[in-house]
Amino acid sequence: MSDDLVLVVEDSDSDIEAIARAIGRSHPDVRLEFLRSGTGVLDRLTADGAERPGLVLLDLNMPGEGGLDVVRQVRARPDLGGLRLVVFTSSEDQAEADACYAAGADSYIYKPINFALFQSVLSRTLDYWRSREPNVTHTVVPPPGDSSAQA
Amino acid sequence: MSEIDAGWAGTLHRLWSAAVAISSREQLADLVLPPLQRLPGVCAVWGLRHAVRGTAVVAYRWRGLPLTGERQALAAALAPAEAGPVRVLDPGDELRDLGITAVVAVRFDQPGTAGGSFLLAVDDTADLSFVSDCLAQVAGVTREAIRRLSGVRDEQQQQIRDALLAEASLQMDAVLDTEQTMYRVPRMAVPAIAEGCLVFVYADGKPQLRSAVHVDMRRLDAMLRDPGAVERLATPGEHAQELRARGRVIGLLVFLFDRDPERIPPAAFLRDLAARAALAIDNSTLYEQRRQEVVRMQQHLLPTRLPGVDGLRLAASYTVGDRVLEVGGDFYDVVVRDNGEVAALIGDVCGRGVDAAALTGMARHSLAALLQEGLSPLRALTRLNARLHLDGSWRFITAGVALISADRRTVEWTSAGHPAPVLMRAGGPAGRAGGGGVPLGVLEVPKLKPTTLELGAGDTLLMFTDGLTESRDPDGRMFEDAALGQALDRLRDAGPQALVDDLSRSAAATDDIALLAVRRDDE
């Protein structure tokens, strides 16, 4: 699993741009890969030799298969166990949040309108899950970039 | 100026230019450590970041001799305890064994943010005076860069908090539903300002958890399964803000943090958010109470049940339009007369609110009592019209009475400006009966329109108020224009209760809708 790779499943051009800009600024060490629909996610994750992302950021409402479908598909695959699934949506329907959690989503995060808030929400979400990766223990969360300090 | 001096002057100039453009402390280490390492006689450059509070070192950076393992404790011990000028320290045996003859050290602090130290391990070729001067200059650049970073960070965090308050206010203003309001507050807060947020509302003096959101819901669920933990969370404290509205404490807004202390928002901001949330929750609670009062009052204006009548099946429904806070003026009733006739009445007082409600109650009871006494619909409606004139009411009432004969074969429909009822023939198409007449309260002598209808076995007379026919679909088309006919076709074989229930759901009610259906039993 690549902790520094985030798979973003999002169909909106403006949201794709905003996510790339936000994470690019807050976590320049994170690589982003985009899919525009939920339909290809399982194939992407299970392809031979495919690099496994540390986290999948999912829009909820997309044409074809949406975020909830992806959560269900991924959780039905034991070989994809431990993959962080974060639903990122502006929906205010609590029933949708409940359905996502019931299906096995790790986070259900509000997608704000304001960009500063948008960036902060994504940044905190990445910080939280990256600090809780399996096999990594932190008493104090170290800032990124340790490896580059060795000259 | 020597060649080295001139080179350093250029380096320092580049450092100052670059220091104002960096956006993180990580970039800062990459910027300032390499030039120090290139100074003659410098074997290693170590950078330490100190905790905001306490003596801990939270990050180690280095160039040259790696600052790992036990050397970290050595470096922490060598680092000056407080900020001050550059000093030259004894390197200790371990470093001396590596050829280090001195450590040139400086510590710099910046109020409210993590301070740092630089330690330069030098050998006997170093010009200690020159290295000390260079280090003092780099410490100056670093201190200024940290001050700028700190200012930028504070400004960004303030922007985020302002944006959050604005979006939270927008979200809370958008709903008047208590549950929704209590859900939206923590949903907005997580994870922008806290990893978790819980809403407790006091009921009978005890805090009850009404809503909880966490960036990691499974972790929260596990925590909430422990009743002791929930009790501890519901205790006012630094991160549990009181929800105070109109002078009363209505609950608690609890924040859970799992982040660097520097990123925890100030208490004043959390109080501000709690104050807004409290007002929104209180508003929606008051709205809900008032709404329930209106619904109860509306129910008092309508018959609690329709009478059982031989030869007929009766059904009624009442739908309150929109989520308005005023009692509507629609009414209906059914009375059985001594001679076996049945009078089904329906009406609509114009306007809403307490005055309309009082008139609605009067109109329904007057008409029902007069029809019960055996008066003809014409006379009963005329008496009601006279009463409205006597009271000087400016409100008018549309009303219709269906008097069904004792043998259930005919209906005398009398309309005072009321929408024409629908007559659904058993096994046949539905058609509109006659409307007409002028609403009561308009003319001194009422103008009423009687129509006689035949009621065959299985036929249904469907009476309603204009809330049904005038409701509009999202494209603005009135229900009466197309959807009513389609719905009636679809409901041809439905029982009377299913008919009125389905119709009331089919229309997008903006006004109240009263429906009253009378079906003659099959032979």
pLDDT in the model for residue B257:
92
pLDDT of residue A133: 60
pLDDT tens sequence for chain A (151 residues) = 677 899 999 999 999 999 999 999 889 889 999 999 999 899 999 998 889 999 999 999 888 888 999 999 999 998 888 899 999 998 888 889 999 999 999 999 999 988 989 999 999 999 999 888 653 333 333 333 333 333 3
Q: DSSP code of A39?
A: G
Q: What are phi and psi of B520, to 5 degrees?
A: -75, 135
Facing A114 at nearest CB: one of B163, B217, B259: B163
Query: d(Cα B438, Cα B416) in Å, to the nearest integer?
Result: 5
The side-by-side arrangement of strands in the sheet containing B87-89 is B57-64, B42-50, B113-122, B102-110, B87-89
Residue type, B212: A
Please write the tens of the pLDDT for every residue from B398-414: 999 999 999 999 999 99
The per-residue DSSP string of B174-231 comes to: T---HHHHHHHHHHHHTTTT-SEEEEEEEETTEEEEEEEEESSHHHHHHHHT-HHHHH
Taking residue B480's Cβ as centre, other Cβ atoms within 10 Å add up to 17
Q: Is A95 on the interface with B (CB under 8 A)?
A: no
Q: SS3 sequence, B317-333?
A: EEECCCCCCCCCCEEEE
Asked if B446 and B383 count as a contact pair (C-beta separation under 8 A), the reply is: no
Q: How far is B233 from chain A (nearest CA, A)?
A: 21
The CATH-assigned architecture of domain B175-296 is 2-Layer Sandwich (3.30)
Is B222 in the A-facing interface, judged by CB distances under 8 Å? no
Q: Note the pLDDT of residue B229.
A: 85
Largest separation between any pair of C-alpha atoms in chain A: 52
Domains B175-296 and B301-520 are alike in CATH topology: no
DSSP code at position A147:
G
The CATH number, out of the four listed (3.30.1490.20, 1.10.800.10, 3.60.40.10, 3.40.50.300), of the domain defined by the range B301-520? 3.60.40.10
Interchain pair B217, A101: CB under 8 A: yes
- In chain B, what is the straight-line distance between the N-terminal and C-terminal CA atoms, in Å? 121
Detail the DSSP E strand segments found in B376-494: 397-404, 410-416, 422-424, 430-432, 449-454, 460-464
As for the ipTM of the complex, it is 0.85
Beta-carbon separation of A109 and B215 below 8 A: yes
Give the separation between CA B463 and CA B414, rounded to whole angstroms. Answer: 12
The 10s digit of each residue's pLDDT in B185-227 is 899 899 999 999 999 999 888 889 999 999 998 889 898 998 8
Residue B508: HSE in the Cβ half-sphere, 13 Å Cα cutoff: 9
Extents of the domains making up chain B = 3-154, 175-296, 301-520
Whether B341 contacts B404, CB under 8 Å: yes
Helix, strand or coil, per DSSP, at residue B258: coil
- pLDDT: is B294 or A70 the higher one? A70
Q: How far is CA A7 from the centre of its chain?
A: 6
More confident site: B486 or B411? B411
SS3 A128: helix
**Residue B492 φ/ψ, nearest 5 degrees:** -55, -40
Q: Supply B179's token pair.
A: 């549950």
DSSP helix/strand/coil, A7: strand
What is d(CA B75, CA B48) in angstroms, rounded to the nearest whole number? 8
Q: Give the Cβ contact number of residue B124 at 10 Å.
A: 10
Residue with tokens 């308009």: B442
- CATH architecture type of domain B3-154: 2-Layer Sandwich (3.30)
Q: Which residue has the higher pLDDT, B472 or B418?
A: B418
User: For residues A23 and A126, what is the distance between their CA atoms, to the nearest angstrom?
Assistant: 9
pLDDT top residue among B321 and B32: B32
B457 touching A (Cβ < 8 Å): no
Res B377 pLDDT > 70 = yes
Of residues A107, A142, A145, nearest to B216 (C-beta): A107
| Cβ density class B335-368: b for 16+ within 10 Å, e for less | bbbeeebbbbbbbbbebbeeebbebbbbbbebbb
**Beta-carbon separation of A150 and B192 below 8 A:** no
Which backbone phi and psi does A25 adopt, to 5 degrees?
A: -80, -45
pLDDT exceeds cutoff 80 at B80: yes
Q: In this model, does residue B3 exceed pLDDT 60?
A: yes
* pLDDT score at A140: 34
> Which residues make Cβ contacts (< 8 Å) with residue A1, sequence separation at least 6?
A52, A53, A54, A82, A83
Q: A41-50, B68-77, B231-240: which range is least confident on average?
A: B231-240
Q: Which long-range contacts (CB under 8 A, 24 or more apart) does A107-110 make?
A: A107/B191, A107/B215, A107/B216, A107/B217, A108/B217, A109/B190, A109/B191, A109/B215, A110/B187, A110/B188, A110/B190
Q: How do beta strands A53-58 and A2-9 pair?
A: parallel
Residue of B nearest to A87 (CA): B215
| Dihedral, B391, B392, B396, B398 alpha carbons, nearest 10 | 40
The predicted-structure confidence for B115-164, as pLDDT tens digits, reads as follows 899 999 999 999 999 999 999 999 999 999 988 888 888 888 888 888 88
- What are the DSSP calls for B54-115, one per residue? SS-EEEEEEEES---THHHHHHHHHS-SS--S-EEE--HHHHHTTT--EEEEEEEEETTEEE
HEC letters along B24-49: CHHHHHHHHHHHHHCCCCEEEEEEEE
Question: Cα separation of B417 and B447, whole Å?
Answer: 9
Q: Is the pLDDT of residue B487 over 80?
A: yes
Stretch B450-475: mean pLDDT? 88
Cβ neighbours of residue B216 closer than 8 Å, sequence gap 6 or more:
A106, A107, A128, A132, B195
Query: Read out DSSP for A56-123?
Result: EEE-S--SSS-HHHHHHHHHT-GGGTT-EEEEEE----HHHHHHHHHHT-SEEEE--SSHHHHHHHHH
Interchain pair A128, B188: CB under 8 A: no
For residue B30, the chain A residues in CB contact (below 8 A) are 148-149
- Rounded-to-integer distance, Cα B174 and Cα B171, Å: 5
Nearest by CB to B167, which of A97, A107, A112? A112
pLDDT of residue A145: 36
Return the C-alpha torsion angle A149, B4, B9, B11, nearest 10: -20
Tokens of B309: 């009548």
Report, as an integer, the average pLDDT of B474-491: 79
pLDDT at B478 > cutoff 50: yes
Residue B237 — pLDDT band, cuts 50, 70, 90? confident
User: What average pLDDT does the structure give for chain B?
Assistant: 88
CB distance B138 to B35 below 8 Å? yes
Task: For residues B267 and A144, give the distance between their C-alpha atoms in angstroms, rounded to a whole number.
Answer: 28
Q: Which residues on chain A are in Cβ contact (under 8 Å) with B159?
A: 116
Phi, psi of A93 (to 5 degrees): -85, 115
Q: Do A150 and B62 touch (CB under 8 A)?
A: yes
A2-149 CATH choice from 3.30.70.120, 3.40.50.2300, 3.40.190.10, 3.40.50.620: 3.40.50.2300
Token digits for B145?
A: 């860069």
With helix as H, strand as E and coil as C, how does B385-415 read? HHHHHHHCCCCCEEEEEEEECCCCCEEEEEE
Q: Using CB atoms and an 8 Å cut-off, which of residues 105-144 of chain A contact chain B?
A: 106-110, 112-114, 116-117, 120-121, 124-125, 127-128, 132, 140-144
- At B20 the pLDDT is 81
Q: B346-373, pLDDT tens digit by residue?
A: 999 988 777 888 889 899 999 999 999 9
Confidence of residue B1 (pLDDT cuts 50, 70, 90): low
Closest-CA residue of A relative to B191 is A121
pLDDT of residue B97: 93
pLDDT the model gives residue A134: 54
Q: Note the pLDDT tens digit of each residue in B257-271.
A: 988 887 888 888 999
